[in-house]
Amino acid sequence: MDITSFIANMPKAELHLHIEGTLEPDMMMSLADRNKIALPYASVDEIRAAYNFTSLQDFLDLYYQGMAVLQTPFDFYDLTNAYLARCFAQNVTHVEIFFDPQGHTARGLTFEAALDGITSALDETERSLGITSKLIMCFLRHLSEEDAFETLEAALPHKDRIFGVGLDSSEKDHPPPKFMRVFKAARDAGFTAVAHAGEEGSAANVADAIDLLEISRIDHGNAVLNDAILTDRVSAAQIPLTMCPLSNLKLCVVDDLSQHPVRLALQAGLLATINSDDPAYFGGYISENFLAVQHALNLSFEEICQLGRNAYLGSFMDAGQKATAVAAFDAFAAENTP
Catalytic center residues:
199
With a CB cutoff of 8 Å and minimum separation 6, the contacts of 69 are 23, 28, 31, 32, 35, 37, 39, 75
DSSP state of 43: S
Smallest distance, Å, CB 159 to ligand HPA? 23
Among 75, 116, 277, 303, binds Zn ion (CB under 5 A): 277
Kindly report the backbone phi and psi dihedral angles of residue 133, in degrees, each rounded to the nearest multiple of 5, phi listed first: -155, 160
CB count in 10 Å sphere of residue 275: 27
By CB under 6 A, residue 168 contacts ligand HPA: yes
Residue ranges of alpha helices (H) inside the chain are 3-9, 25-34, 44-50, 56-66, 73-89, 101-105, 111-129, 145-155, 180-188, 203-212, 228-237, 245-250, 262-267, 279-282, 286-297, 301-313, 319-336
The CB-nearest residue to ligand HPA is: 168
Binding mask 73-112 toward ligand HPA (x if CB under 6 A, else -) reads ----------------------------------------
Per CB under 5 A, 20 contacts Zn ion: no
State yes or no: residue 14 binds ligand HPA (CB under 6 A).
no
277 binds ligand HPA (CB under 6 A): yes
Region of 118-126, 137-145, 229-237, 270-278 interacting with Zn ion (CB under 5 A)? 270-278
Cβ-contact 232, 210 below 8 angstroms: no
Instruction: Judge contact between 309 and 273, C-beta under 8 A.
Output: no
Question: If binding is defined by CB under 6 A, does position 199 make contact with ligand HPA?
Answer: yes
Least Å from the CB of residue 37 to ligand HPA: 20
Partners of residue 181 on adjacent β-strands: none
Q: Contact between 66 and ligand HPA (CB under 6 A)?
A: no
Q: Using CB distances below 5 to 8 A depending on partner kind, what does residue 75 bind out of Zn ion, ligand HPA, none?
A: none
94 binds, among Zn ion, ligand HPA, none (CB under 5 to 8 A by kind): none
Q: Name every residue whose Cβ is closer than 8 Å to that of residue 140 and which is 6 or more positions away in sequence.
A: 100, 102, 103, 147, 148, 168, 169
For 284, list phi and psi in degrees, rounded to 5: 170, 150
Residue number of the CB atom closest to Zn ion: 277
Least distance from ligand HPA to the Cβ atom of residue 165, Å: 14
The residues binding ligand HPA (CB under 6 A) are 18, 21, 56, 63, 168-169, 196, 199, 247, 277-278
The residues binding Zn ion (CB under 5 A) are 277
